[in-house]
Amino acid sequence: MTLKQQVNFDTDPKSYKHWELELDDSVATLKMKVNPIAGLRDDYELKLNSYDLGVDIELYDIVQRIRFEHPEVKAVVVTSADEKVFCAGANIQMLAGSTHHHKVNFCKFTNETRNSIEDSTEFTGTAWIAAVNGTAAGGGYELALACDEIILVDDKSSTVSFPEVPLLAVLPGTGGLTRVVDKRHVRRDLADVFAVKAEGIKGAQAVKWGLVDEVVPKSRFNEHVREHALKRAAKSSRPSNESGIALLPLERQEDEERLSYPHLDVRYDRELSAAFFTIKAPSSSGVTDLAELKAQGSSFWLLALCRELDDAALRLRFNEPEICSWVFSSTGDPEAVLATDNLLRDNPDDWLVKEIRHYLKRTFNRLELSSRTLVTLIKPGSCFVGTLAELALLADRSLMLDGTFSDDDSSEPAYMVLTEVNDEWYQMVNRISRLESRFWGRPEELANVRSAFGKQLSAEDCDALGVVTFIFDEIDWDDEVRILLEEQASFSPDALTGLEANCRFVGPETMESKIFARLTAWQNWIFQRPNAVGPEGALKSYGTGSRPNYNRERI
């Protein structure tokens, strides 16, 4: 794949092709207005407000900008510029012509974007309201489901529907089935009927079943939505008189061998099928107070690093599918990282601090939800402390050097510092910390780690506490790292994806963990089945006038 063919996640409000954002004091109105001829590929048209990855890249950017650039926005109304169609969902021709790898990653990214909407409502006080002013089918209804409330127009024709099973032989691709029963508490038998009723449900029946919150006549629909949004905004904890920070374009250099940012360098080793991430923390304490942090805006190093990690993870997911392992190292002053954590800890109620912390949480989760082996190497000069220690805790394997390298007289042995942030700030998708996950069912070991919060932990300490997988001395280090990566590259990627997803998410299940664990597994299977993607499958037959030819075995 050449660089010209790669998926690019860069966008900004001046470049939007598919959305219109209107700001009016505390309420923002986001209108879907998809340009049919502005898809990422030229072999389909985005008719009826159907979407592809490009539409959702813009939506993700909008969500981020509302959160960081417009703290005064307390309610967002999501609606359509087309009065008859809210959204027809993912474009069928796009799916039919996409590789399996693209389909699955497209669905995962789309779902993560909807998760960020829900996260915004739950943790930072922005109400998202779906004003469904026309038919919402498939992914269009899934977009509405991500919102806190759904208001459907009562025009005798507009419906909500999941036509994927009856028409396409696949499932709703971004968590819709789980959200219907887990979030909206639709009765399971009614959800079963709904999911095979291609024409959908409208009006009072949609309210009765719990598919929408209310229906409003078309004559007063816009007025009602506006009034309701203002009521929700009045209850929000978002500030009224704060200035946002501009999310400036990322500084990035890219070629066939590496991906570089100011605070992150990613180098590819294609023989090992590995990408080596080097996190670059500051060499001194830097920002010391909240006013200075806000003055730096998106250049503040921890926020900048978060954006760079987010961008790199997405680019590698889509553009480097044969890179099997992501290997994390770090450089910089550990005290600078801990000082930054202290600054955030001292200002827990500030809107920007909340947004930075929750963005970091979502980015760590995105790394963890990626189908890659995650390895962290803790060496002299590392700064895996506090927030950055999450990169060691989320790894499938973490290796730590015991001692120093003999050819480096200036280095001191590596150490880790775990603090309360590793137990409180960055919950996984199953709503527990990575420490709780690591020591699930082992309360005494977890208590031992908590008693060591704030201490410099040597390799022997980390090994004794169980916070790293293995420690090695200089003699074995290079060989052990190489053997690990060669071994990972030799295994079936499919088997590794299943293995790692099963091991990473222990303990309780949440709606979000169910969506990613179950849906990703089913997508990997269903999107390769002939009934869906074969020459006579539903995705290939859709719109041609011919019926799909199914293999009738229930497997």
Spatial distance between the Cα atoms of 90 and 102, rounded to a whole number of angstroms: 13
Spatial distance between the Cα atoms of 450 and 458, rounded to a whole number of angstroms: 16
142 is catalytic: yes
Q: 180 to each of 132, 162, 449, 498, 516, how far by Cα in Å?
A: 16, 11, 39, 26, 15
Residue type (1 letter), 172: P
Name the catalytic one among 164, 308, 368, 390: 164
Q: And the tokens for 545?
A: 């006038």
Q: And the tokens for 540?
A: 């290939």
**Of residues 350, 365, 253, the one with CA closest to residue 300:** 350
Cβ density class 13-33: b for 16+ within 10 Å, e for less: eeebebbebeeeebbbbbbbe
Spatial distance between the Cα atoms of 253 and 262, rounded to a whole number of angstroms: 10
Q: Which residues pair with 30 in a beta bridge?
A: 21, 78
Cβ density class 265-298: b for 16+ within 10 Å, e for less: bbebeeebbbbbbbbbbbeeebbeeeeebbeebb
* Nearby residues of 548 by Cβ (< 8 Å), 6 or more positions away: 169, 531, 536, 537, 538, 540, 541
Q: Which helix (H) or strand (E) holds 455?
A: none
Name the catalytic one among 69, 72, 112, 142: 142
**CA geometry: angle at 199 spanning 194 and 201, to 5°?**
50
* Nearby residues of 446 by Cβ (< 8 Å), 6 or more positions away: 435, 436, 439
Rounded to 10°, the helix 301-319/351-369 angle is 30
Active-site residues, by number, are: 142, 164
